[in-house]
Structure 1
Amino acid sequence: MNTVKRLKGLNLPPWQKKSLPFLIKEYGPVIILAILLGTSLDLYFVDKKMYMFPIRPFPEVLSFNIAFTFVGLPILVLVYLMMMKKVTKWGKIGIIIFLSLLMPIFERFSELFGLFEHSVDWKHIYSFYGYLVFFSFIFLFYQLTNKEH
């Protein structure tokens, strides 16, 4: 049987496996907030006919895409928060700006695949600013709810 030995010169702390209850306690409230914000914003903008989701689960019942709101967005927020824990203040600002710039690009691709449509009045810069506020607010809420970590 082969065993893996830790390098003696490596000054990294040992990797600690976190339990599911700990992860839920740390990230659960923020993910729930992200889902609630995402759902509320989608309902508002779909109702105002600023955008729509032509292809979505349960189109006869829901006007927004629950696949993104309940699966994609929580995964994105979880990865985002894990990255934010590992970088400096300037790194955090960089991540927020980078992700905010990336989201309009993802929107554009989802339009090309028929998953998303905007009204003629919509400008993708709205998404940049919206996600800039969203990611900043999510991280602020994470910090407020996890002061002891």
Structure 2
Amino acid sequence: MTTVKALKDLNSPPSPKKRFHFSVSIFATILLATLIGTYLDLLFTGIGLYSFPMRPFASIFTINIVFTLIGLPLFTTLFILISLRLHKWLKMMFMITISTLMAAFEKFAESIGFFTHHDDWQHYYSFYGYTIYFIFVLLFHYLLDKQIKNS
């Protein structure tokens, strides 16, 4: 029978656990993505392309402020963190899938009264819009992260 003995001179401290590091580039990207999403909502509701009939503080805001302050930052955070773990082609597939799901979610939100579009709106506009938005978010994060690491 083989036995293993512990080394007596092994006084090294235990290795530190790898902690999640929320980088400045991720925070800045989330902030920028939230601002862009908010301004696009304000622009599109202002010109009448869509509206939010059921929204908190309807007398103050023309957009759904809960989605803007909670949903959009959380969604963007998840999107970035998942995208950072994917290879280039999987990242593109992920963006296309999420864009398709967002366009489908808009149709569902319309059916339950949270969202209404102008009669001329086509839901493939949402697909292209979200795809461009996600590409911009990832490009901004990549360039900012690269700039921070090089300085």
The residue number in structure 1 matching 2:116 is 117
CA distance in 1, matches of 2:133, 2:34: 11
- Deviations 1:96-139, CA, capped at 9 Å, x for gaps: 11111111111111111211000101110100000000000000
CA distance in 1, matches of 2:56, 2:144: 32
The residue number in structure 2 matching 1:102 is 101
CA distance in 1, matches of 2:79, 2:101: 13
CA distance in 2, matches of 1:35, 1:72: 9
The residue number in structure 2 matching 1:67 is 66
Runs in 1 of length 4+ with deviation above 4 angstroms? none
CA distance in 2, matches of 1:72, 1:23: 19
Deviation at 1:25, TM superposition (A): 1.7
Deviation at 1:24, TM superposition (A): 5.6
TM-score (norm 2): 0.83
Percent identity for Structure 1 against Structure 2: 40
1:132-143 mapped onto 2 (5 Å cutoff): 132-143=131-142
CA distance in 2, matches of 1:15, 1:140: 30
The residue number in structure 2 matching 1:17 is 19
Deviation at 1:146, TM superposition (A): 1.2
Deviation at 1:26, TM superposition (A): 3.5
**One-letter amino acid of the counterpart of residue 17, structure 1:** R
CA distance in 2, matches of 1:42, 1:90: 30
- Deviations 1:54-88, CA, capped at 9 Å, x for gaps: 01111000000111122111111111111111111
CA distance in 1, matches of 2:128, 2:94: 14
Q: Number of paired residues?
A: 133
TM-score (norm 1): 0.84
**One-letter amino acid of the counterpart of residue 123, structure 2:** H
5+ unaligned residues in a row in structure 1: which ranges? 1-13
**One-letter amino acid of the counterpart of residue 18, structure 2:** Q
